[in-house]
A and B are shown apart, each in its own frame.
Chain A
Amino acid sequence: MQENISPGIWICLIFSYISGFSTLFLQEAKLLGPDVWIAYICGIAMSFGILCSLYMVQRRYTGLPMPAVFDRLLGRSIAKVVLCVYLIYILEIQGAAFQALTSFYRTVVLPNTSPGQIILLIALTTAYASSLGLGTIVRTVPVLLSFFLFAILLIIFFIYKNVTFNPFLPLFQHRLSEIAYGSLLSFYFPFGKSIVFCFLFFRVKNSSRIIPYTLIALALSGLYLFAATYLSFGSLGMNLVKSVTFPFFSAIQMVKFGEYLERIEITIIGIWTVFTLFEIIILQYVFMQVFAYIFGIKHVRAFVLPVGLLFFALSTRSFNHQDDIVYYNSRIAPFSTLLPTVAIPLLLLLISFFKKANGSGEDRPFLANSDVSQRSRS
């Protein structure tokens, strides 16, 4: 029996998913400096708009999973192609997530461990976790979230004591084009990747409240990111933030709890790592669901290990140098992810409205309807 997600857990799930990696590189902050808050607001607004449009599409087919909604709107063969785009999108962001986590670990904690071993450990862990099902995943989220919030609020309090000025002043120092690109960066990472949650809409209890709860989750993630950026700028200074790879953790490293509690950040990193794994676990779970739908697979369990190994294989072969991931995140991914995160949702919304206006039957796909009408005309 499938377990549903309660609205409160929905907020925790989205927050955990977005916030795991969001403070790692702070790329948009490095680009925009004090004006980064505008990019965050734009990123949240765009992600919320896209999730709203997908919810409006889903609402017409309450209880149906999103891949089946794709089928209804686009027809079976086109829906499969579109779903494959989402599979590629998941492979793209999971590769970046694996490599980001590995490079972080090799820089901060385990410099002598090979990246392959770290990636394999993460892949096996996430494969096992995703095999347990969504019910187990959502029950684990609030438990870990409470630990994470305690640790991060404690550290935020101590970093805040080091901040002596408001780093977000003076305002509006950047050109409109730079702010627009910063918003695009912020939309790609971290807020826009919440698009995969459209595949879980049908599992939420009381689906009429999905939209406000999604907005709350996005706003809380934005608040956490804003706080992390503020503290990084405030404690390290603008120039140092631009030159270090992991600004927020450099800020955390400056906190000292006394003579004997140096390297307290290792504890925080431990909690944070488990938190970041949620993103990969959810990605893998959604990947398996979509993959099973495309190939008509009934027994998904047998595919858990191969999908985990596929994630491992693609991650080890991607981003061979550490600079590659920064280059990819800042130059390529903001454009490459526009197809699944903007173009396809808007297309679905358009088709959905067109079908509604046309009053066409709900059971038949939009493109199949046009075939039928052409045949009847001929």
Chain B
Amino acid sequence: MVNNAICLVAIGYGIGACISFCRRFRFREGMAIFVLCAVVAAYCAPIVGKSMPTVESVYKWIYGPFSSFTLKQLGIKQED
């Protein structure tokens, strides 16, 4: 519910701010705010949002095997 509301707010704010910037001929800022709001909307979207990569999920994928290998080599057992 909260996510859906934020998705709508992000789309509305992004379009509004982009038009406002473009009217003042500040196209770079308009594009930056539009892209930022599009990213927020994508993350908060009902179905797509859950499958979007986060820093946590990407880093788990990249560093997970390296971390397991290093901890095994160091002989460290952690209680999760």
Q: Is the interface of A mostly helix, strand, loop or mixed?
A: helix
B55 with A95: CB separation less than 8 A = yes
Given the contacts A305-B13, A310-B40, A335-B67, A319 and B29 also touching, CB distance less than 8 Å:
no
- Which residue of chain A has the shortest Cβ distance to B5 in the bound complex? A120
Given the contacts A297-B29, A318-B55, A319-B56, A306 and B13 also touching, CB distance less than 8 Å:
yes
Q: Is A302 an interface residue (CB 8 A)?
A: yes
B40 with A313: CB separation less than 8 A = yes
A310 with B80: CB separation less than 8 A = no
Give the residue of A178, A303, A318 whose beta carbon is less than 8 angstroms from that of B76. A178
- Which residue of chain A has the shortest Cβ distance to B62 in the bound complex? A336
Give the residue of B1, B14, B66, B78 whose beta carbon is less than 8 angstroms from that of A330. B78
Interface string of B7-45 (1 = CB under 8 A from A): 001100110010001000010110011001101100110
B3 with A116: CB separation less than 8 A = yes
A313 with B43: CB separation less than 8 A = yes
CB neighbours (8 Å) of B43 from chain A are 310, 313-314, 316-317
CA A314 – CA B56 in complex, angstroms? 9
B54 with A302: CB separation less than 8 A = no
B40 with A295: CB separation less than 8 A = no
Q: Is B47 an interface residue (CB 8 A)?
A: no
Which A294-332 residues sit within 8 Å CB-CB of chain B?
Answer: 295-299, 302-303, 305-307, 309-310, 312-314, 316-319, 323-324, 326-328, 330-332
CB neighbours (8 Å) of A306 from chain B are 10, 13-14, 17, 33, 36-37, 40
B10 CB to closest chain A CB (Å) equals 6
Interface string of B44-80 (1 = CB under 8 A from A): 1000011010111101101110111011001110111
CB neighbours (8 Å) of A298 from chain B are 26, 29
A91 with B75: CB separation less than 8 A = no
A177 with B40: CB separation less than 8 A = no
Q: Is the interface of B mostly helix, strand, loop or mixed?
A: helix
CA A328 – CA B78 in complex, angstroms? 12
A95 with B56: CB separation less than 8 A = yes
CB neighbours (8 Å) of A154 from chain B are none
- Which residue of chain A has the shortest Cβ distance to B49 in the bound complex? A317
A130 CB to closest chain B CB (Å) equals 15
B51 CB to closest chain A CB (Å) equals 9
B50 with A317: CB separation less than 8 A = yes
A318 with B54: CB separation less than 8 A = yes
A76 CB to closest chain B CB (Å) equals 15
CB neighbours (8 Å) of A314 from chain B are 43, 54-55
Which A90-106 residues sit within 8 Å CB-CB of chain B?
Answer: 91-92, 95-96
CA A180 – CA B10 in complex, angstroms? 44
Given the contacts A295-B28, A331-B78, A117 and B2 also touching, CB distance less than 8 Å:
yes
Query: Hey, which bits of chain A sit against chain B, CB under 8 A?
Result: 30-31, 88, 91-92, 95-96, 114, 116-117, 120, 175, 177-178, 180-181, 242, 295-299, 302-303, 305-307, 309-310, 312-314, 316-319, 323-324, 326-328, 330-336
A-B contact pairs, 28 of them (CB 8 A): A31-B76, A92-B55, A114-B2, A116-B3, A117-B2, A120-B6, A178-B76, A242-B79, A296-B28, A302-B17, A302-B21, A303-B32, A303-B36, A305-B13, A306-B33, A306-B40, A309-B40, A310-B43, A312-B6, A316-B44, A328-B59, A328-B60, A332-B56, A332-B60, A332-B63, A333-B59, A335-B70, A336-B59
Lowest 5 CB-CB distances: which A-B pairs, in order? A313-B43, A116-B2, A177-B74, A318-B56, A318-B54
Query: Hey, which bits of chain B sit against chain A, CB under 8 A?
Result: 1-3, 6, 9-10, 13-14, 17, 21, 26, 28-29, 32-33, 36-37, 39-40, 43-44, 49-50, 52, 54-57, 59-60, 62-64, 66-68, 70-71, 74-76, 78-80
